[in-house]
Amino acid sequence: MHTLPDAGRRPAAFSVLVLAIALWMAVPLRLLIPGNELDLDLTVNNAVFVIENAAMAGTVVLAVGAAAVRARRVLTGAVVVVGLHLLLQVGTAGVQLLDGARPELVLGTLAGILVLLLALAGVLLARFVRAPATARRAGLVVALVGAVIHTLWKSVLLPVVATLPYGGPPTGMIWSLLLNMVLSLLVVAAAALCGWAAPTTRRIGALLAAVVGVLGIVAVTGAVGFFGEAYGVVLIVQGLITLAAVPFAVLAARRLAAARRPGVGQAGS
């Protein structure tokens, strides 16, 4: 695997991993929502269905960031994680189709399979295409397409489809869905920018991660009343983990900028 010179690759890779971990905190958040007892039936509360869908955003962001940073170990790890997630999703689809699950559940699982196929294709392109610049661009574009599809489906289309039998989403819900979509896209953009080998993009990525982390912590005040204190604690932890990506991205930007100054040789890390 040929790589482009990047003196800040290692801290950039850490920033991507931290962002993915922050999004995987959606799993305990989903499990802490009161009144939704998990089961093994073909319902929206099926334990496997809930966990694999809650973890989807973190897996997709890992793929985006891995394609952008093109660190060998991160790409290999992303291939494994996305591949296993895809196998789990395919298995879920098979069970749903055989047992006659509700159409919206099957549609959601098939959408997840499409997203994960694009994410896997992105990291494989970034890992195995020989020309480094082409590998990075092609892999990132394909992974980003998957991330955008996932965000639009999970944050907007799925909730709208679910409310159609009841007359569609109310106005207040629409604004909430749009805000959630914007925040989700900001995290995706942060992962891509933190990984991309340019000081300016990594600084912008750090800024976006900081904004999302702070907003996540601020949201605790409204969430505790609806979901309980334990949910609020996990939400704070998620925000803090997101903020932890900021110093890694800033360090990656500084190392790359220093290596690109006249008279200073570039060195991969």
To which residue do tokens 């991160």 refer? 74
Query: Which pLDDT belongs to residue 1?
Result: 65
pLDDT at residue 167 tops 80: no
Give the pLDDT band (50/70/90) at residue 253: very high
Q: Which residue, among 29, 34, 81, has the nearest Cα to 51 in the 3D structure?
A: 29
Per-residue model confidence (pLDDT) at position 269 = 37
Residue 223: pLDDT band (50, 70, 90) is confident
Tokens linked to 264: 């200073």
Residues in the chain: 269
User: Which tops the pLDDT comparison, 101 or 52?
Assistant: 52
What is the enclosing helix (H) or strand (E) of 253? helix 229-259
**Above pLDDT 70, what percent of the chain?**
91
Which pLDDT value is given to residue 199?
94
User: Domain residue spans in the chain?
Assistant: 9-259
Residue bearing tokens 């897996």: 59
Q: What pTM value is reported for the model? A: 0.90
SS3 assignment for 31-60 = HCCCCCCCECCCCCCEHHHHHHHHCHHHHH
The pLDDT-based confidence of 219 (bands split at 50, 70, 90) is confident
List, for residues 110-148, the tens digit of each pLDDT value: 999 999 999 999 999 999 998 988 999 999 999 999 999
Per-residue pLDDT tens over the stretch 177-213? 788 889 999 999 999 999 999 999 999 999 999 999 9
Average of per-residue pLDDT across 208-223: 91
Query: What tens digit of pLDDT does each residue of 42-95 get?
Result: 666 778 888 899 999 999 999 999 999 999 899 999 999 999 999 999 999 998
Average pLDDT, the chain: 88
Contact partners, residue 35, CB within 8 Å, separation at least 6? none
What's the rounded Cα separation, in Å, for the pair 208 and 210? 5
**Residue 263's pLDDT is what?**
58
* pLDDT for 101 beyond 80: no
Q: What is the pLDDT of residue 268?
A: 40
Mean pLDDT of 152-167: 77
